[in-house]
Amino acid sequence: MAGNTFGSVFRVTTWGESHGTAVGATLDGCPPGLPLTARDIQAELDRRRPGRGGPAASPRKEPDAVEILSGVFEGQTTGTPIALAIFNKDAHSKSYDNLKDIFRPGHGDITYLAKYGLRDHRGGGRASARETAGRVAAGAVAKKLLALHGITVRAYTVALGGITTGKRNLAEINDNPLFCPDNEAAATMIGHIETVRKEGDTLGGIVEILATGCPAGLGEPVFEKLDAALACALMSIGAVKGVEIGAGFAAAGMRGSENNDVILPGGFATNNSGGILAGISNGNLAHEPVAVSIGGRHDISAIPRIIPVCEAMVALTLADHLLRQKAIA
Amino acid sequence: MAGNTFGSVFRVTTWGESHGTAVGATLDGCPPGLPLTARDIQAELDRRRPGRGGPAASPRKEPDAVEILSGVFEGQTTGTPIALAIFNKDAHSKSYDNLKDIFRPGHGDITYLAKYGLRDHRGGGRASARETAGRVAAGAVAKKLLALHGITVRAYTVALGGITTGKRNLAEINDNPLFCPDNEAAATMIGHIETVRKEGDTLGGIVEILATGCPAGLGEPVFEKLDAALACALMSIGAVKGVEIGAGFAAAGMRGSENNDVILPGGFATNNSGGILAGISNGNLAHEPVAVSIGGRHDISAIPRIIPVCEAMVALTLADHLLRQKAIA
Amino acid sequence: MAGNTFGSVFRVTTWGESHGTAVGATLDGCPPGLPLTARDIQAELDRRRPGRGGPAASPRKEPDAVEILSGVFEGQTTGTPIALAIFNKDAHSKSYDNLKDIFRPGHGDITYLAKYGLRDHRGGGRASARETAGRVAAGAVAKKLLALHGITVRAYTVALGGITTGKRNLAEINDNPLFCPDNEAAATMIGHIETVRKEGDTLGGIVEILATGCPAGLGEPVFEKLDAALACALMSIGAVKGVEIGAGFAAAGMRGSENNDVILPGGFATNNSGGILAGISNGNLAHEPVAVSIGGRHDISAIPRIIPVCEAMVALTLADHLLRQKAIA
Amino acid sequence: MAGNTFGSVFRVTTWGESHGTAVGATLDGCPPGLPLTARDIQAELDRRRPGRGGPAASPRKEPDAVEILSGVFEGQTTGTPIALAIFNKDAHSKSYDNLKDIFRPGHGDITYLAKYGLRDHRGGGRASARETAGRVAAGAVAKKLLALHGITVRAYTVALGGITTGKRNLAEINDNPLFCPDNEAAATMIGHIETVRKEGDTLGGIVEILATGCPAGLGEPVFEKLDAALACALMSIGAVKGVEIGAGFAAAGMRGSENNDVILPGGFATNNSGGILAGISNGNLAHEPVAVSIGGRHDISAIPRIIPVCEAMVALTLADHLLRQKAIA
């Protein structure tokens, strides 16, 4: 049973290989009447372009132009499947012929061969960062749905190559190519990246994701808890090897009296739980809900990709659980 | 759409409240011909008994006797659903009447009410550690299936209340009530627990889970990667707020040249990936694959519960992916 | 991937063998706040008792007493899984030892062995009419949910052994053991059954199912159309070999001008579509929506079983689609 | 929860509207290593072209050229999702402006509006026969997989407008535009169609589908029986209002002694069961397994469409169950 579908009610299936004809997503279960244009989706895709990375960017310049092939009529979703495609224009398959007979460490080359008995070696085939374009496209639709309910999702870099942000000023996120909420730290990170790149090496980092406006009651006990769904969503991103909700591993070192968020008449005194109690959102999903570690072979060109993907996966998760809750409310 | 089912092919649905008539699980998709008796399952349930916790144990003494209600004939599974029930014998509902009008911090009392509009307040209702008895019972069946394929799963405590194990001698795991692979550290932890308990407080900890003998090729790209499935499985356990695979968050501080496991003719030189590359097992799932943080209100009685549950969830995940791989191989 | 689960949002998993310890169902996704007692469910189970069949009844006298093991608190559903069990009390396994080495024609004995490599031969094991007790129990909950929305489901016998009803007076359904809406036809049918039984033979029949009060808009294009879901639901009942919606096969002999239901300001002039257009209910699901053929080895004791099962399956289907529609509305 | 996905292991999601940019399918779960080219799929699509209908054909001349966008590398499937698209080239949206404000009887116009609150009125939008192009494309892949296991699926017209075939000579199926196994009957049917068309009316018909070479053991008790899955698959086709397996409704008029297929050492003496016992194939799925009634507004141009669609749906069902069985065998 294949695993290219995410979500139960708001459900996306992605497809496509790095150097195939196209990559894309089919989104089934989007409610009708949502205003949607290709521009809405394009705006999110533009954020993940390798070219955004400034001086340190990848040489591949994909326009990543999305086409809506179905499910939208006269500017609104119709309730039928929304098919999205991004045709590959600048693929250079030949330049990957050198990968035909080798397994790159830290990549899926060896495991895809073990699983399937054959593989599309061009640029990692399905196990390429390019696969995430379909996620970001579908996530853009999820974000539009969430916006109607006053929910926003933002991701940003809080550590890279051992350098951590000194502050979290979300107003600065779009000022630098690292989506870092601290322009000064971002500048140091970029310098470090350039040094390491010259040495032929790469760096890892930590991303934080913040959802605001999330109502209480989302998440399904006991196996599809909201935190379990988020962990699955985020760990499905290539290179992510750790997920924390709220205080995360730090909770292991706290006493119950420190860790448990005191309930006050107007809300919670703290947010160690990341806004999720017993797998259900508590209405306080507003501060450091999720921290994602990204390790492995990374460089500055990966950051503009992973940030929108993290946002997309959290948005898809919340949209799905929002609709699931409607079914029983 | 409710969330009490886990797995696609080897699929378990659990049910039951802390102080209801019974808790249990229905396991659908177990292959026929697997030898199975109630004793096999009972052995796993006995490991999670609060009473196992020695001097610091909970006063609730559940025998937790499992009954197989269907799916087994003449000592073998038949391929039909295996219904498992554990009747509650010592529930003392009245002693929870004090919880009727309060929300305990760090618990699901407030979120269940927000989600459903009403709640079974007795002992946390569905959001009780007792719910996990059904998981452990089903996990015992998964373990039997995995054993036929040479796969074992073991969980153990590596940190508790800030005290970490000095060694990982798996032979010592069953020597102490904390399932700690370091008897000496376990003794220190127990002392610390007793002190903190007298202060009316609780401690958190970190559990590590090790799967050995896992073949290459398990895990489904791209959303149901093996690491995503494990993260979901483990984050669905109450109080777990962080999951790492392999090097986990430490990878964020490494360079690519340090983090990427070199591929040698006979296998991998290191195991920073936790045995999973691009979401697919690499045949090396043998060292520190998963580290689970448990935070929140915990005490020694919780450890014997969470260790078998962690093993159960990993076993259920691997059994499901083992059968899924058979469908396409 | 096993098939003992029905429905997506209102989802039931049944389990149990004819001569195992118990049969039952786990119902996940029932909205909270629905008043529910064991008596509600027992009333439906009592309708399917073999003993109800009067003089021609089966010698097996099961009380079929249902127990609610979870999911109900203080007389209301809580939104958590509702586990239902009916313990087998009068099983007489030994009397089936003669079936150990033979395959009964028209039964699953031979195909279960082909599929699983072994089988529980006692009374058909899982492939027994007894399996449907779990369906009826879960269907009773679905009926309660539907009643809140003004929807009713009724099934009745319209043909048996070549004898057809002359009228459809639903007030007479409960007057005779055949659930026949024509007492006179029922008497003839019963006489015929007794004659055929003496000859050691059995009869087939046709059941009709009527749902009233169903709103427009239920059913999901394109593979989970309401009629496709109903066909699946009803064809999953043992011995059912044909399903028609509305005019059914008769439509093949009509012209478009006869068959297409004219749309009038107040509704539809006719109901050849069975209240379902393009897979979506049209608000007119009120006349002969489904006719189910039951063939194979049947006798009067089967009728009291299949009528409640047909109602249960239609109720489960409608309840599921009612909740699914809420998710997008 | 939307319904545009069919199958569990071999799983297809279709998308697209009659007059949108394209229609297509995403097929997830196809085993790797299956030889596949666009030509294989094109051959099936060509069979469903309206233009095939000879003198009585629809004026719309779609080339229906399929493109494989992903999942195939160097002529073989890779185990990743296979995205298929057929771009609409000759849509003439404007010619449907007259449908904007009316509901055609027998169509989904009124129910789509009831369900979604808005609709794409152009040519029926999603509720168009054009939607089935995606099914046929995916079904072509299923057929290739089945062929490797020696399974074939063929559909043919056995009744149209009250005219029934006198014989079932499958060698004649491709000789006439009606896929009728009796050229003489086909000629009479065509004459009748032309007469009725001049009167501005349409005809219904009955299609029979035959699967040969199907092994014993396919089908999942109890809700996903092979006959239940086939009934769902076929009833999901627009205009289909009845499904029979084997003897179908005729079984209701037989005695058990007539209807039950006697088991002989070499197989079954008859095939009233349609090759399916207790929901599991008995290895005899070789004669009249399914008869589908098509009613409503039909003409000769519909036949070339529905025959390949019936084959596609049966092929998709069998491919899915073939892989499901591998998971437990």
Q: Above 70 in pLDDT, residue D123?
A: yes
Mean pLDDT of chain B: 88
Residue B125 backbone class (left: φ over 0; alpha: ψ -120 to 50; beta: rest): left
CA distance linking residue A152 with residue A210, whole number of Å: 8
CB-closest option in D1, D80, D327 to B327:
D327
C-alpha to C-alpha distance for D114 and D121, rounded to whole angstroms = 13
Q: Do A29 and C80 touch (CB under 8 A)?
A: no
Give residue-wise pLDDT tens across range B141-157. Answer: 999 999 999 999 999 99
Q: Which residue in D21, D116, D126 is closest to A69 by CB distance?
A: D21
Query: Which stretch, A47-56, D256-265, D276-285, D316-325, has highest mean pLDDT?
Result: D316-325
Query: Is B81 within 8 Å of C117 when comparing Cβ atoms?
Result: no
The token pair that represents A287 in the structure block: 């501060």
**Confidence band for B73, pLDDT divided at 50, 70 and 90:** very high
Question: CB count, 10 Å around CB of B267?
Answer: 12
Say if the Cβ atoms of D15 and A118 lie within 8 Å: no
Q: Pseudo-torsion of CA C223, C224, C225, C227, nearest 10°?
A: 110
> What whole-number distance in Å separates Cα of residue D204 and Cα of residue D292?
11
Within 10 A of A87 (CB to CB), how many other CB atoms are there? 18
Of the spans B68-77, C275-284, D297-306, which averages the highest pLDDT?
B68-77
CA D69, D72, D78, D79 dihedral sign is: positive
Q: Tell me which residues of chain D, numbers 35 to 74, contact chain A at a CB-CB cutoff of 8 Å.
A: 67-71, 73
User: Does the beta carbon of C7 lie under 8 angstroms from any beta carbon of chain B?
Assistant: no
Q: What is the mean pLDDT of residues D141-161?
A: 95
CA D295 from centroid of its chain's CA atoms: 15
pLDDT at A53 over 70: no
Number of C-alpha atoms within 13 angstroms, CB side, residue D193? Answer: 24
Report pLDDT digits (tens) over D160-175: 999 999 899 999 999 9
Which DSSP helix (H) or strand (E) runs through C241? strand C240-245
Beta bridge partners of D203: C255
Whether the pLDDT of residue C317 is over 80: the answer is yes
Q: Is B17 helix (H, G, I), strand (E, B) or coil?
A: coil
pTM greater than the 0.90 cutoff: yes
d(CA C79, CA A325): 11
Distance from CA of A324 to the nearest CA of C (A): 6
DSSP notation for C160-207: ETTEE-S---GGGGGGSTT--S-HHHHHHHHHHHHHHHHTT--B-EEE
Range of the domain at B255: 5-326
Q: How far apart are CA B328 and CA B296, in angstroms?
A: 42
The partner residue sitting opposite D1, judged by closest CB among A1, A29, A33, is: A29
Express each pLDDT in D21-63 by its tens digit.
999 999 999 999 999 999 999 999 999 875 444 444 444 455 7
pLDDT in tens, C116-160: 999 999 888 999 989 999 999 999 999 999 999 999 999 999 999
List of chain C residues whose C-beta atoms are within 8 Å of the C-beta of residue B2: 9, 11, 28-29, 79, 81
Taking Cα atoms as reference points, which of B26, B66, B59, B24 lies closest to residue B45? B66
The rounded percent of chain C whose pLDDT value lies above 70 is 88
Asked whether the beta carbons of C204 and D254 are under 8 A apart, the reply is yes
- Residue B289: band (very low, low, confident or very high) from pLDDT cuts 50, 70, 90: very low
For the cut 70, the answer to whether the pLDDT of residue D293 exceeds it is no
In angstroms, rounded to a whole number, what is the distance separating the alpha carbons of residues A203 and B252? 7
Give the burial string for D112-149 (b: 16+ CB within 10 Å, else e). Answer: bbbbbbbbbbbbbbbbbbbbbbbbbbbbbbbbbbbeee
pLDDT at D99 over 80: no
Answer with the residue of higher pLDDT: C51 or D74. Answer: D74
The mean pLDDT of D172-191, rounded to a whole number, is: 95
Cβ–Cβ contact C108 with B under 8 A: no
Which segment of A292-306, D134-148, D153-167 scores lowest on mean pLDDT?
A292-306
Residues 6 or more apart from A263 whose CB is under 8 A from it?
Answer: A269, B103, B105, B110
CB C26 within 8 A of CB C141: no
State residue B58's pLDDT score: 47
What would the pLDDT profile of A102-120 be if each residue is shown by its tens digit?
A: 898 889 999 999 999 999 9
* Whole-angstrom distance, CA of residue B133 vs CA of residue B156: 18
Eight-class DSSP state of B105: T
Q: Is the pLDDT of residue A27 over 90?
A: yes
User: What pLDDT is stored for residue D163 in this prediction?
Assistant: 94
Q: How far apart are CA D60 and CA D71, in angstroms?
A: 31
List the structure tokens of C295: 């063939």
* Structure confidence at residue B303 (pLDDT): 75
Chain A residues closer than 8 Å to C78 by CB = none
- CA dist D294 and D306 (Å) reads 9
The answer to whether C328 contacts chain A (CB < 8 Å) is yes
Above 50 in pLDDT, residue A55? no
Q: Work out the number of other CB atoms within 10 angstroms of the CB of residue A51.
A: 17
* Residue C90 CB neighbour total at 10 angstroms: 9
C-alpha to C-alpha distances, B102 to B28, B105, B119, C74, D225, nearest whole angstrom:
38, 9, 12, 18, 48
- pLDDT confidence of residue D289: 46
pLDDT at D301: 62
Helices (H), C65-117: 109-116
Lowest mean pLDDT among A224-228, A240-244, B229-233, C93-97: C93-97
What is the secondary structure of C288-321 as a DSSP string? S-EEEEE-SS--TTTHHHHHHHHHHHHHHHHHHH
Q: In this model, does residue C290 exceed pLDDT 70? A: no
Instruction: Determine the pLDDT at residue A251.
Output: 87
Interval B205-234: pLDDT, tens? 999 999 999 999 999 999 999 999 999 999
Q: Which residues of A touch D322 (CB under 8 A)?
A: none
d(CA D83, CA A88): 14
* Least confident residue range of A111-115, A142-146, B8-12, D284-288: D284-288
Q: How far is A199 from chain B (nearest CA, A)?
A: 10
Per 3-state DSSP, chain C is made up of helix, strand and coil in percentages (nearest 5) of 35, 20, 40
Other beta carbons within 10 Å of D51: 17
Given CB atoms, is A79 within the 8 Å cutoff of chain C? Answer: yes
The pLDDT of residue B284: 81
Per the CB < 8 Å rule, is D255 touching C196? yes
Chosen for mutation from D5, D6, D69 (greatest number of chain A CBs closer than 10 Å) is: D69
- pLDDT value, residue C115: 95
- Tokens 């608190």 appear where? C73
A316 in contact with B, Cβ within 8 Å: no
With an 8 Å Cβ cutoff, is D4 touching chain C?
A: yes
Element (H, E) at A185: helix A183-198
What is the band of B55 on the pLDDT scale with cuts at 50, 70, 90? Answer: very low
Nearest to C5 by CA among C14, C319, B16, D280: C14
pLDDT at residue D305 in the model: 82
pLDDT at residue C90 in the model: 64
Residue C328: per-residue pLDDT: 84
What is the per-residue pLDDT for B292? 57
Domain count within chain B: 1
Residue D288: pLDDT band by 50, 70, 90 thresholds?
A: low
* CA atoms within 13 Å, Cβ hemisphere of B48: 27
Q: What is the pLDDT of residue B125?
A: 92
Q: How confident is the model at residue A304 (pLDDT cuts 50, 70, 90)?
A: confident
Residue D187: give its domain's CATH number: 3.60.150.10
- C326 touches B: beta carbon within 8 Å: no
- Mean pLDDT of the region D245-267: 89
pLDDT at C192 over 50: yes
Residue with tokens 């499985």: B233
pLDDT at D226: 96
Q: What percent of chain D stands above pLDDT 70?
A: 88
